[in-house]
A and B are shown apart, each in its own frame.
Chain A
Amino acid sequence: KAGVTQTPRYLIKTRGQQVTLSCSPISGHRSVSWYQQTPGQGLQFLFEYFSETQRNKGNFPGRFSGRQFSNSRSEMNVSTLELGDSALYLCASSLIPGFSNQPQHFGDGTRLSIL
């Protein structure tokens, strides 16, 4: 069974640009969550999607957005990039939300660097 797939693996952008990251969950998983990992702030929750609906959102500005498609694949978008957006963005999937006996499985992440 393939794991969580995140593309691209690395991305370099400049300030002011926008970026879209992609996450394909494990087959059969319907919940997708996104996290930002930085050396200073650690791992912080961005948002969670289930059945194409955003169920929960972390404390990030509106420049950070996401969506989920009918096949459970998810994308996150960051507009007007800032230097502080440089981070590892991790995606995690689980079967259905709210049942932690089915834990989240993480992808390898997308390393985003802002110049």
Chain B
Amino acid sequence: AQTVTQSQPEMSVQEAETVTLSCTYDTSESDYYLFWYKQPPSRQMILVIRQEAYKQQNATENRFSVNFQKAAKSFSLKISDSQLGDAAMYFCAYHTQGGSEKLVFGKGMKLTVNP
């Protein structure tokens, strides 16, 4: 079974600075998808960024980028120029390719952005 581990339960960053959130996963599959979701106090899970395992190029979305190391099964999220609105719970998630829509989530990490 796939597992996702987020080892840091909490982090803080100063506004305008850069922060990296770590995530590791375990799978025997060769093709899959990885996601970072953000959950603000409003509770809605918002997709931040996704990475397809067969693509070697790291995904980027504006201020958000990932460092995907397939061999190490590592999938970290870098947030540049942090903003107060980035404060939220961040979840790393794994998605099996094909068939099921089941997402396997990590425990999450609370990010605080200090003004």
Contact = CB atoms under 8 A, between A and B. Distances in A.
Answer yes or no: do A and B interact. Answer: yes
A109 B37 CA distance: 15
A100 interface: yes
B92 to A, nearest CB: 11
B104 A45 contact: yes
B64 interface: no
Interface string B93-113: 001011111111111100000
Contacts of B95: 100, 103
Contact of B91 (A43, A97, A104, A109): A43
Q: How large is the interface on A (under 10, 10 to 19, 20 to 34, 35 or more residues)?
A: 20 to 34
Contacts of A56: 99-102
A55 B97 contact: no
A52 interface: no
Contacts of A74: none
B84 interface: no
Contacts of B101: 31, 33, 48, 50, 55-56, 92, 94, 97-98, 104
A111 to B, nearest CB: 8
Contact of B100 (A88, A97, A106): A97
A66 interface: no
B71 to A, nearest CB: 21
A107 B103 CA distance: 15
B99 A97 contact: yes
B100 A103 contact: no
A82 interface: no
A98 B43 contact: no
A97 to B, nearest CB: 4
Interface in A24-73: 31, 33, 35, 42-45, 48, 50, 55-56, 58
